[in-house]
Amino acid sequence: MNNFDFYRPTRYIFGHGCENDTGSYAKEYGFKKALVVSGGNFAKRSGLLARVCSSLERAGISYVSLEGVKPNPRADLVYKGIELGRSENADFLLAVGGGSVIDTAKAIALGIPYEGDFFDFFLGKSKPQKALKTAVVLTIPAAGSEGSNSAVIEKEINGNIVKNGLGCDFNVPLFSVMDPELTFTLPAYQTACGVTDMMAHIMERYFTNTQNVDVTDRMCEGLLCSIIANAPVAITEPDNYSARANLMWAGTMAHNNICGVGREQDWATHHLEHQLSALYDVAHGAGLAVMFPAWMEYCLRHDVMRFAQFAVRVFGISMDYEKPERTAKAGIAALRAFLKRIGMPLNFEQIGAHSEDIPKLLDMLGVDDHERFEGHFVKLHRSDCEKIYKLAAEYRD
Ligand code: NZQ
Ligand code: ZN
């Protein structure tokens, strides 16, 4: 196990009706004015936004609203939010929504005290020195942004869409209010996208070269097993509280890095996927369902026993001691079968992506065959990434 320093001080407030007390939690920190960020439709239409805002009023906290965050959130609304937050003297951000809303709020929180262009942080041109605090009312278990140190934003630069993530301590939310009942309205497809994303967050950590990481291995496997058991229930019974609650907590544990400490992590698949969601505006989870099994196929021979362990412990496949590669491959097939069962796409065609665009995706990814690569478990240069995109494009059931 590697040395680590783990500090993720988000307070999680979890359970029935807790969103109605958001204002009193915010008051505990002495906040006076919220910039409330929400999405295009759900929070307003369902009455959630009104309930959260009245809880702020009851707590004596004034607020200003910024609505209209779209999935795969754009920089434009972040700029608008920065202006609004400054002119209205907001002293904290309150995100009411999923990953896209939370990431927009995090970016605004970084941008308000910064004199330059907030996207400099996402391009690695500058490092954040301060930020406003962000709090969350979560409505979809998926991205894990309610407990993560990252934010992902898209911006069009010179005709190309750049979708970049930024990891830093300022992005860790102060508190996250998590009521599983708020997720009853999630359509099956969106539920499945979230499930795929949380599984991917665990697998990005699971496939590692670090040896002797039994505790986090078993935590990853346990979470994956729980997600695999609860996802079909939540999809067929959308208002099953237990299934929704287990998925909600799993999504947070998947990405607040408790499963990632002390081990090298990979993240190539996420970066391969971000180019797909940037180019085709496909849901991040759907893109991951297409890319993760393809990445696994390509990397399998790097450590057959780790893939076999995944197959045995996560999907209950019997170990073939003579030919462990068979077990490893059966694990990838089981993952694809599960993703298909929950309604996820498995190839380019099913997400409206085209193999002719692979050179463009590779340019966007910014890899070459010399110095610039993706991943850690296996270092992937441009020709490797090209092969993985091709595997994903050409896969057929
Ligand atoms: O637009 P509204 O009306 O709000 O509807 C949303 C949206 O269309 C809808 N929705 C949310 N809660 C709902 C609901 N519909 C019905 N009932 C509810 N309770 O769901 C749609 C998707 O929302 P979005 O916020 O985009 O989903 P998600 O949480 O999957 O976030 C995806 C974004 O997060 C990024 C992704 O790249 C993508 O941009 N990620 C962020 C990470 C982070 N900050 O740590 C890590 C991830 O790997 C990921 O990259
Ligand atoms: Zn993700």
What are the pLDDT digits (tens) for 206-256? Answer: 999 999 999 999 999 999 999 999 999 999 999 999 999 999 999 999 999
> Global pTM?
0.98
Tokens of 228: 């695999």
CA of 43 to the centre of ligand 1 (A): 12
What residues does 164 pair with on adjacent strands? 153
Pocket lining: 350 vs ligand 1, CB cutoff 6 Å: no
Using 50, 70 and 90 to split pLDDT, how confident is the model at 397?
Answer: confident
Of residues 189, 165, 11, the one with CA closest to residue 103: 165
User: What ligand has the least distance to the C-alpha of 289?
Assistant: 2
Identify whether the C-beta of residue 78 lies closer than 8 Å to the C-beta of residue 104.
yes
Residue given tokens 């990431």 in the structure block: 103
Residues with a beta carbon under 5 angstroms from ion ligand 2: 197
Counting Cβ atoms within 10 Å, is residue 389 exposed (0-12), middle (13-18) or buried (19+)? buried
**Each residue of 60-108: pLDDT tens digit?**
999 999 999 999 999 999 999 999 999 999 999 999 999 999 999 999 9
302-339 pLDDT tens trace? 999 999 999 999 999 999 999 999 999 999 999 999 99
pLDDT in tens, 145-156: 999 999 999 999
Mutating to test ligand 1, I would choose from 8, 37, 103, 150 the residue with most ligand atoms within 8 A of its C-beta, which is 103
CA pair distance 56, 77, nearest whole angstrom: 23
Cα-to-centroid distance, 39 and ligand 1 (Å): 9
Averaged pLDDT for residues 283-300: 98
For the CA of 190, the closest atom of ligand 1 is 20
In this prediction, residue 364 carries a pLDDT of 96
Mutating to test ligand 1, I would choose from 44, 139, 166, 266 the residue with most ligand atoms within 8 A of its C-beta, which is 139
pLDDT above 90 covers what percent of the chain? Answer: 99
Span from the CA of 255 to the centroid of ligand 2 (angstroms): 9
